[in-house]
A and B are shown apart, each in its own frame.
Chain A
Amino acid sequence: MNSLLIILKKELKDVFRDKKSLSMMLIIPFMIPLIIIGMSALFNMEANKDIKTYNKIGFCYELSEAELNIAKELNIEVIYKDENELKKDYEDGLINLYVTKIADTYILNGTTGENTTFAVDLVNNYFHKYKEYLQVKYLNENNINANKLINIINVEENIKEKDNYFQNYIFTYGFLFIIMAITVSSTYPATDATAGEKERGTLETLITFPIKSKDIILGKFLSVFISNFITGILSLIFYYFSLILSGNMFKIYEGINLVLPFKTFMFIFSVITLYSLLIAGVCIAVASKCKTFKEAQSALTPFTFLSLFPGMLAFMISLKSSLLLSFVPCLNFVLLFQDLMNGSLNILYLIVMFISTIVIIAVLLGVIIKQYKSEKIII
């Protein structure tokens, strides 16, 4: 135990005195507020986009009074010019879309872009209304009750908003970024403590010490874990306050409580602890097999994406938790986090998540200790 503490102390000195390890550990969490506030600002901008930025529509034909009324109703700013002039205006950014006409066919002209997409939606809405106006007019002219025909069936929406889309999005992505921050900050100290030590030639010295390989590796493992844990906790703090700040700053969160409930906070805290242990084990196991620092860094880079990708995919395809998926590291964290947010957390899945992760960590430690018992680690 004493040897383990000596190694841990030595490794922590290495981490805290190495500028790169320290910056990885402390600076990465600062990215969390930038991401959360940045994403919220983007959502806010999209959801509350000013119509004036996409309502200038060019027409190369005269609009009837009825068409003008519909355009006015939809806040469309009508610009009349011939086709070539409209094309030039569009290219100069003076209008957002222009409509040409051949017989009864109307053509919407433009190039894919953020404002054009909004303008196309607006003009499609305009033509939908104009089409409806022409249909009613035709039916009335032929003595058919247009109202009865057009509204032959009624459809009413009774969909209650269970969750705010943006809230769900920002909560989940924020959580995923905490996981990613831990992964990124784990690679450097893990590489430095294993492949780096080998490359610098200090591993040979360490192996001649009267210390069991188990203590050497546990000391290294715990130092990487502590570094990860600090990153995770800092990220959680930043995540917590960024959510509160975003909730007060942006309209999209109006009427929504963005303060993390205590249960969720504790869940994230537990996941940070578990994941910090897990990724410390993974990074040390991989980096120990490498001969140089550079080789280890290259080998560990994919893990940064692997930590983020399953959770992101699960969120995008609305994957639901299951007993089987509760065994899958990283994915289980995100699925159960979403269950918790939805108030449908299954305790069995939670227990499976904890136990399976602890088993994986134990296996990883076994593998690393075996690696350090073998002379291959030094040759």
Chain B
Amino acid sequence: MLTVKNIKKKFIKLEKNNKKIEIYANNGISFTANEGMILGVLGPNGAGKTTLLRIVAGIIEPTEGTVDYDSLIFKDNEIEIKRNLAYLSGNTKIYNTVSAYELLKMCAEVYGVQKTQIKKRIEEISKKLEMDSFLYNRISSLSTGQTQRVNIARCLIHDPKYYILDEATSGLDIISSQIILDFIKEEKKRGKTILYSTHYMEEAENICDYVLMINKGVLVKEGTPDRIKKDTKTTNLRDAFFSIIGGVKNE
């Protein structure tokens, strides 16, 4: 179980007149994600989704608050927790001087997959994601869709318990997006916990079990998609979001 308690993240911004101002990208966010759950983190650009997911993935540290995985505090068990995590964002790039096979082998070694199992595991994933035709090609020579498949394979290689996916479909074509959405659904079936941020409300509505709506660093609403729609008397999450934040003008 993933438990996030009262996360605050402060950044210092330097104004034109050299005056420093404090900005809270996250301000007191708490939530829990159970096994087999897809937890959607929704909000417009600049809402604080990426900061929250980066904190949860241990890329940056919170100013306040804690992140626990299965009752283990992240700060004190970083390496152990990271072994069970996979992080993928729309901006995540992979090394393009190596082949897909070499990258997956390196990731498997890093995550401590048994040496005797590495080749078998890569072959399994390659088959599953239809990567056989380009497995031994340098990543620099692959198309965006193929690269994204390698990126997903990288996340799967160590069979993690938790996936943190930050706008993973952002900027991708419909086919590449579908590959990621299928992968998310499949991993959910396997009992994995998935934290999924997006600003595509329709996408979230389709796949998320539970949704956190964030605006200006604050958690403005949480619940199942149906519950949120019911509470806001709307028919979709997009309308629900605008109803919560007080309309487009206000946003």
Contact = CB atoms under 8 A, between A and B. Distances in A.
B31 interface: no
Contacts of A14: 95, 97
Nearest to B111: A210
Contact of B97 (A9, A13, A208): A13
A210 B92 contact: no
Contacts of A204: 59, 87, 89, 91-93
A210 B158 CA distance: 11
A201 B91 contact: yes
B240 to A, nearest CB: 31
Interface in A1-22: 2-3, 6, 9-10, 13-14, 17-18
By Cβ-Cβ distance, the 5 closest A-B pairs, closest first, are A201-B93, A210-B82, A375-B60, A208-B87, A17-B97
A3 B110 contact: yes
Contact of B94 (A3, A205, A378): A205
Given A6-B109, A13-B102, A379-B60, A210 B79 contact: yes
Given A207-B58, A207-B59, 4 more contacts: A202-B94, A204-B93, A210-B83, A379-B60
A285 B61 CA distance: 22
Contacts of B211: none
A212 interface: yes
Nearest to A2: B109
Nearest to B83: A210
A4 to B, nearest CB: 11
Interface in B34-86: 57-61, 78-80, 82-83, 85-86
Given A3-B110, A6-B106, A204-B59, A13 B93 contact: no
A141 to B, nearest CB: 87
B59 A375 contact: yes
Interface residues of A, number: 23
Contacts of A9: 106
A209 interface: yes
B207 interface: no
A132 to B, nearest CB: 75
Contacts of A201: 91-93
Interface in A205-226: 205, 207-212
Given A209-B110, A212-B79, A375-B60, A202 B85 contact: no
B98 interface: yes
A201 to B, nearest CB: 4
A209 B82 contact: yes
20 contacts: A6-B106, A9-B106, A10-B106, A13-B97, A200-B96, A201-B91, A201-B92, A204-B89, A204-B91, A204-B93, A205-B87, A207-B59, A209-B110, A209-B111, A210-B110, A210-B111, A211-B79, A211-B110, A375-B60, A375-B61
B60 A378 contact: yes
A10 B59 CA distance: 21
Interface of B: 57-61, 78-80, 82-83, 85-87, 89, 91-98, 102, 106-107, 109-112, 154
A378 B59 contact: yes
B43 to A, nearest CB: 20
Contacts of A210: 78-80, 82-83, 110-112
Contacts of A200: 93, 96
A74 to B, nearest CB: 67
Contacts of B85: 208
A208 B57 contact: yes
A208 B55 CA distance: 11
Contacts of B112: 210
Nearest to B78: A210
B160 to A, nearest CB: 10
Contacts of B95: 10, 14, 202
A16 to B, nearest CB: 9
Contacts of A379: 60
Contacts of B60: 375, 378-379
A204 B59 CA distance: 7
Contact of A6 (B79, B93, B94, B110): B110
Given A3-B110, A375-B61, A378-B59, A208 B79 contact: no
Given A208-B57, A375-B60, A375-B61, A202 B98 contact: no
Nearest to B60: A375
Contact of A13 (B91, B94, B98, B111): B98
Most B CB contacts (10 A, CB to CB) among A13, A202, A205, A375 go to A205
Nearest to B166: A204
B109 to A, nearest CB: 5
Contacts of A6: 106, 109-110
Contacts of A2: 109
Interface in A271-314: none
A378 B60 CA distance: 8
Nearest to B158: A210
Contacts of B91: 201, 204
A202 B85 CA distance: 17
Contacts of B79: 210-212
B59 A208 contact: yes
A9 B85 CA distance: 23
B164 to A, nearest CB: 8
Nearest to A18: B97
Contacts of A375: 59-61
B148 to A, nearest CB: 13
Contacts of A205: 87, 92-94, 154
Contacts of A211: 79, 110
Most A CB contacts (10 A, CB to CB) among B61, B87, B98, B110 go to B110
Contacts of B94: 202, 205
